[in-house]
Amino acid sequence: MDFVQAAILGVAQGVAEWIPISSEGITVLLGAVFFRGVTITELVHFSLFLHLGTFLAALVYFYKDVWELLRGTLFYRRADKATKKLINFYITTTVVSGVVGMLVLRAMRGLEDWISPTTRGVLVVLGGMLLITGVVQLRRRTNGERTAADVGLTDGIVAGIAQGISVIPGISRSGMTVATLLLRGVDDKPSLKLSFIMSLPVVLAGNVVLNTSEFVLTIQSLVSLVLAFIFGLLVIRYLLKAAERLRFGWFMLLFGGLVIASAFLTGQ
């Protein structure tokens, strides 16, 4: 990977993470088209590493909320009821998504014996995952009556499953988790904030568990990480509000259809 490729992947991660378009799917798609001799698992691991950049961007953007949660966790008995419910929600989503994500990654490793990142099958599967996410987005409720203070154990389990499944390239983490919370009746703004904050412990833990022993830091990967952080911090302010109003489901259906069409047009 040269510096241009590293820059492209870093910028793509920084922008795509905040909208219901799979940043991991974009990374794998770019890798399948432009990189040779790279497996799906390697691309997934690199995408997970790039999430550290947007993790830091989200940490900076939501630092007040994160600080309140940390303080509430340390002094749990003294925390108010709403804070306790949020802490329990985030713990539940972290545990559930971690277990589901590990199971999905193991299943993906088993598929690499008959699918390579340059075959038509990968693009078809990737496009199919984008179509699924688009359908889920379009089925969301436009207006929810529940707030962040109303989320419970069931919400944490369902959202955790959605986040764990999104380790599959093409499934948008933010798209699936936001859509899941919206379908559970949570309003737009609380759904977005819950979705972004619940990604923080999973991204950090995922890199510690999955990438520590396998990933080698290079100048190119560091460039990708820095660009993911910078662009993530720059665009989150503008895209967070846009994501509340725009129906990204139609865009994802169009994009997924184009990915599948490209698989047959290229003849690979």
132 pLDDT higher than 90: no
pLDDT-derived band at 226, boundaries 50, 70, 90:
very high
Q: In sequence order, what are the beta bridge partners of 146? A: 186
Q: Which pLDDT belongs to residue 158?
A: 94
Q: Which pLDDT belongs to residue 160?
A: 94
pLDDT-derived band at 227, boundaries 50, 70, 90:
very high
Q: pLDDT tens digit string along 228-255?
A: 999 988 887 776 676 566 666 676 677 7
89 pLDDT higher than 90: yes
Closest CA relative to residue 176, chosen from 207, 134, 237: 134
pLDDT-derived band at 179, boundaries 50, 70, 90:
confident
CB 127 within 8 A of CB 170: yes
101 pLDDT higher than 60: yes
Distance CA(152)–CA(193), nearest Å, equals 16
The structural domains of the chain, with segments of one domain joined by +, span: 3-266
Closest CA relative to residue 171, chosen from 104, 265, 247: 104
Q: Which pLDDT belongs to residue 154?
A: 92
pLDDT-derived band at 26, boundaries 50, 70, 90:
confident
